[in-house]
Amino acid sequence: MVKDLYDVLGVSRTATATEIKSQYRKLARKYHPDLNKDDKNAAERFKEISAAYDILGDKDKRQKYDNKEIDAEGKPTGFGAGGFNPGDFNSGNSYQTYSSNGFNGAGFDFSSIFGDDIFSQFGSGGFGQRARKGEDVAYSLDIDFLDATKGAEKSIIMNGKQLNVKIPAGTTTGQVLRLKGQGADGINSNLKGDALITIKVRPHPYFKAEGKDILLDFPISMKEAVLGAKVIVPTISGKVNMTIPAYSSGGEKLRLKGKGIKTKNGTGDEIINLIVVSPKTKSAELENALKNMKDEQIRTF
């Protein structure tokens, strides 16, 4: 005996389209075959509720069903206002078919019920598997500090294939670069996954990066600190001349404008941290000169 479709879905004949859709989604999730692989009754129940929703979820089919123009299988009955029309079998009113693996109704969009990614949750042997983009592939790449700060292009071998990786200026450790379409092959799809390159920047002997700025500890002698001097300073783009003001102290910072990291968002500076270094060779002249200097109060604590 064919059941009443409203009873199959558990809704009243006055239920709105939204209520019918909501109830179907609830039942479809509950009885989906891939979520009930050990329950044969679930597959049959799923077919039943899917068939019911195919009719009640369609405004025109629901009206024909209510008018008894089609039966619970979607077949014309020969009754109702429309009468029997053999052409109905080819006009979009034909009933849906089922296979042993589940619903095969032409034109039925399960993504509207479950969402676009529902079938990606099920295994390759599951119900109605759809095409999927390939998986992303992870790769780790160590690079030099100067390559990270100035930008570079590196070649890597991934899955037997040589790939060129562009390192943007200002790249930092832990940053992930994405190579589109260089990952695993898709499932029933030509869409490949991506290659995700995680960067590790090797430390530099004396440079450090802080945002777009470059930091450098720069040793100077006591003579240079007191009298001032012209010195040569390394930067990430080469050596430059710099003037140390007279009577400089350790810990004071000098700035070289535009000598930092150049990015699309601007260029940083190089920050010079002065470190005053006492002479390692004994000097009686220096000692006498310091003894003759007036004591100066430099501590505030």
Residue of 37, 71, 68, 42 whose CA lies nearest to 54:
71
Return the domain boundaries, the chain: 5-121, 137-201, 207-280
Q: Are 137-201 and 207-280 the same fold in CATH?
A: yes
Q: Which residues pair with 274 in a beta bridge?
A: 218
DSSP secondary-structure letter at 35?
G
Question: What contacts 70, CB < 8 A, 6 or more positions away?
Answer: 55, 61, 64, 76, 77, 88, 93
pLDDT tens-digit readout, 174-200: 999 999 999 888 888 789 999 999 999
Superfamily of domain 207-280: Urease metallochaperone UreE, N-terminal domain (2.60.260.20)
Residue scoring higher pLDDT (2 or 175):
175
- In this structure, which topology does domain 5-121 adopt according to CATH? Helix Hairpins (1.10.287)
Question: What contacts 31, CB < 8 A, 6 or more positions away?
Answer: 42, 43, 45, 46, 49
pLDDT tens-digit readout, 4-38: 899 989 999 999 999 999 888 888 888 887 777 77
Residue of 132, 122, 182, 146 whose CA lies nearest to 262:
146
This prediction has a pTM of 0.55
Top CATH class of 137-201 equals mainly beta
pLDDT band for 90, please (50, 70, 90 cuts).
very low
Angle, helices 59-66/40-56, rounded to nearest 10 degrees: 90
